[in-house]
Structure 1
Amino acid sequence: MIALRSTDKGRKSSAFASALYLGKYNDMDNTDRFLNGMVKAGHSYEPIRGETVTFLFLGVSKTVYDHLITYTIRNRRIAGGFRVNKPWGFVVPNEAKDPWLYHRMMEDQLARCEQLRKEHPEESLQAIRSLYPIGVMMPPFMLDFSEEALVKNVFRQRIWERGAQEETCDVVNSMFEAVRTLDPEKWNSLQEYHGPHIDGHNRAMRKLREQRPTLRQLVAKNNNAQADVMDLDVYELLMDTVGKLPKTMWDKAG
């Protein structure tokens, strides 16, 4: 996975948009305004809504393609996933208990599809693609994503929230590392306000409001009954008790 192009180079475009949005006409080159003045305040993400990042994907399965296409601008998507493109192979799911079983079955299915093309040349590739297994490897493709969609949907739902399929997590994590390389301050800051700890924060506050536990109950639940409560790390205490997230279906399967 390669990040080919980002439209908000040096944050100049989002700086200009932020200045217009907030009416700061005498200070339009402030590249920190969006992060420090809008993200931290929980304000609109309008300044990056029109900014995009283009990614090139290599060796990615149809399953991951389907997970990602939902969020794209779509002007670069492969029509219907394949159309007349042949798969480049197949991807055995990380969750497979017996990888070689999947390997043999998918290899056999692709061979049968190829045999069908040879024996029945009148059949179009568009029709034969319906017989491909879902785990086929896509030909190289590019997808464009809005920066707002990346931070609020793609990264949040696929790597910062728990429960996404492992292969999709791996690909999306590579996407995040790629954009973070382009602008570490920007994407580290966005991760801070939308990252994996946010679910724990929300769960902790909801359970505190609903259950109204005492400090004594929280300390005992965290096996710190003998500790001096004045020295406890309150954030760690909350995240280890009321903020602790339940296991996902993937955790249970493992």
Structure 2
Amino acid sequence: MQLIPGVENVDAVPAIYIRELDAICVADLHLGYEGIMAEYYGLFLPKTQFKEELELLREMLRSFDRKPKRIVLLGDVKHEFSETSYHEYKELKELFLYLEQNFEQIMIIKGNHDNFIARATKGFEKIELFDELELGDYFLTHGHKLEKPLSYFAKKGRKVIIGHEHPAIALYSDVGGREKLKCFLAGKCKRGFYLLVLPAFSTLAEGTEINVVPQSELLSPILKLVDIDNLDVFLVDRDLGFKRLAKLVELRKVVP
């Protein structure tokens, strides 16, 4: 099942495959999260996230008959805003080594957490850093800022792909139970371009409950300007699988 034309989910993982570009794309890994939580907030979490993310990458690659040529990291690869911490630096180096062993090209689009990430990329010849990226009909950006007017995308019929928001959906049971699950937000906007919002690849970072939070309070400036209620919500979960749920406007109605 395609999310938007030419783009599909990979193996019920919070990631996409862009066929035309022969590229896997993931967003918001937030490496070093546990170390930052311990250092700044006194919250000690088991250091499992990097191992879990690396295993997800391995599972994705095993689902292909032939490895994709490139991978795009759509921002917030690291978690600390300021100088790269020891925990981040170690995990970034391990991640980049794995990616260089498995992809011909590694394209990193910098997010708002990726200050000083360049230092960790030194010595990795396949890695390229970008603020935003245009490849054919695709415009890839982290999503934390909007430096082009929406008319730019409409005029060119672009397929805009972002992260940053960490979209999730809140689901409620008849007996008062509540669960938050990761989701994609995808579809064609009234302005004429396609928009796809990726969930966080991080196994720890919280998600924005897009059927609960008012549009005006969303993080991404892009999402504050488009008709998001008309976009499709696609659930992605390793146990429940990948499936289209409904238009966002319909899922807002299930909130108590």
Say whether the fold is shared (TM-score over 0.5).
Answer: no
Instruction: Pick the structure with greater CA Rg.
Output: 1
TM-score bracket for the superposition, by shorter chain length: under 0.3
Scaled by the length of structure 1, what TM-score is found? 0.23
Query: Which has the larger helix fraction?
Result: 1
